[in-house]
Every structure is written in structure tokens, then in C-alpha cells.
Amino acid sequence: MTAVSNQINTGPADTRTPPRWLARRPNLVFWGIFVLLNLLLFLPSYYTYRFEVTFWPSFRGETGDNSLRWYLIKYAVIRNNADIFRLSLEWLWLISAWVFLPGLRRGWLRWLVTILYFLGFVYNIYDAIIFGIYNEYPNLYDDALLLISGIEGLTRHIGIPFYVYLIIPLAIGAFFLLCAWLIRQLLAAAHKEQLHWLSRAALLLLLLYSAAMVFRYAEFLDHPRIVASSIGAKLNRNLRQSYSTYQNQQLLLQAREHLPEAYDYSDFALQEKPD
């Protein structure tokens, strides 16, 4: 009875046999898709600054003592060039959980990874656009109001063709399905028993690197130029700023309600009647 209850609560384990082409080269498939989807998360930022930066990591315009430590910081910690060669911490942690915690290899986790990846990519697009336009961190409360008014203005004055409203959701849906398929192949190859011990060791080294970054540079994980980037840290900063903006707006609205009382001179008699 307990076994049946656990099966219902957690769902069936992902024990399906991978395709033959995948079974032959699981390490190549694993690292190929892992790196591809990781780099794709940083494409919005690179595309926003593509005319000002280089595709490959570069230290152009940055000064330093050119020591080994300086280069190590630029490659592994932070650099001004908005290239895509960075690491998403949440992406690493989700895939590592699938590899090293076989008890979590369930269908629900596969869909959770897919949905979180898609939402993370969408958030990075939003983050890159706002930071690229205003050179400020996004503020969801302000940006939502701006987006609503902007969409209303565009649809009213520009006259967007009807087919555009069909193409956009179709393109978003196609991208989501592509991500779902790639993640499915990645997780099928990510079984610990299939991966070479060198692949597992490399993943452990990345986990140690991520732990060091969290321990040493936790306050910078939301910076757009940090090498080990955290979408969760960006979202946390955004929500805190949004809540602060909301509170300030409420204070202004409350103050405006008391303005008539502050400037009410009805109880005072005029010494001279104005012309």
C-alpha cells in the first residue's frame, strides 16, 4: 500500500529506454545540449549590445595589471563584454539534481525543468531590453504599467496587421516545444549510469565553482556582467524594487488625499479683497 501511495504522489520514475543514437553517445549529447541551452540564455543580452561588444570573451577597454589573478577574475567572475560565454546557476543546479539524485527523475521534474528554462529565457529577454534601453535594472511594477500603455498605443496608432497576432504566439509555442524536445534528450542522456565518470567529475567541478561564486559573490549574482549568473537573484532584486516603488506610490496617493486639508483657508478671513 505504501509503495502504491508513493507511486501516486511522486509519479513513475523516468526509466524509458533512450533512442539508439542517444545511447551510443550520451556524453556528447549531454554536453552539447547542456552548453547550447545554457549559452542561449545569455543571447538576449548579447543581441542587445551586439554592435558594442564582441561575440567571444574580450577585455577591450578594461585596465588591470594583466596578472594571472586578473585574467582569472575576467574569465571566471566578471567582465564588461556582454558575451554569451557565461553560466546560469539555476540551469546547472537543475540538471545536476537530475544526474546525481536519481530519486528525482520523474516526469514532473522534466516538465518543471522545461517550464523554468522557458520562463528564465523570457525573463532574460525582458531584463536585457530594459537594461539596454534605460541602463537601469528592471522594475516589474513600473515596466508592467509602461508595457500596458505602450501596447495600447501601438495597437491604436500603428495598426499592426492581424496575422502578427497569430505569428507571435505560434513562434513562442514553437520555441517552447523545441526547448521541451532538447531538454527531453538532455535528461535522457543525463542518467548517471550512462555518463562517463569524467562527465560527472566535470559537473561536480562546475557545482564547486557555483558554490564558490555564491559564497564569495552572492551580492553580485544579479549583475548583468557576472559570469555565474542567477535568474533567481535578478528576480529577487526586481521584486524588492517593485515593492518599494509600490509603497512609494501609495505614500504619494495618501499625501494627495490630504492636500485639500493642508491648503484649506476657509476659516481665515481676508484682510483685503483681491481685485
Better-predicted residue by pLDDT, 273 or 140: 140
Mean of the pLDDT values across residues 228-236? 95
**pLDDT exceeds 50 at position 88:** yes
- Max Cα separation, the chain? 98
Burial annotation 75-112 (CB, 10 A radius, 16+ → b, else e)? eebbbebbbbbbbbbbbbebbbebbeeeebbeeebbee
Q: Are 210 and 93 in contact (CB under 8 A)?
A: yes
CB atoms within 10 A of CB 55: 11
Q: Report the alpha-carbon distance of residue 108 to residue 140 in Å, rounded.
A: 29
Give the residue-averaged pLDDT of 179-206: 90
Q: Which of 6-10, 192-196, 216-220 has the lowest mean pLDDT?
A: 6-10
Residue type, 220: F
Give me the helix-helix angle, 162-189 and 107-134, nearest 10°: 130
CA atoms within 13 A on the CB side of 146: 9
Residue 230 has pLDDT above 90, yes or no: yes
Domain definitions of the chain by residue range: 17-257
Q: Which three cell numbers stand for residue 240?
A: 524588492
pLDDT digits (tens, 9 = 90+) for 131-159: 888 888 899 988 887 776 666 655 555 55
pLDDT of residue 168: 81
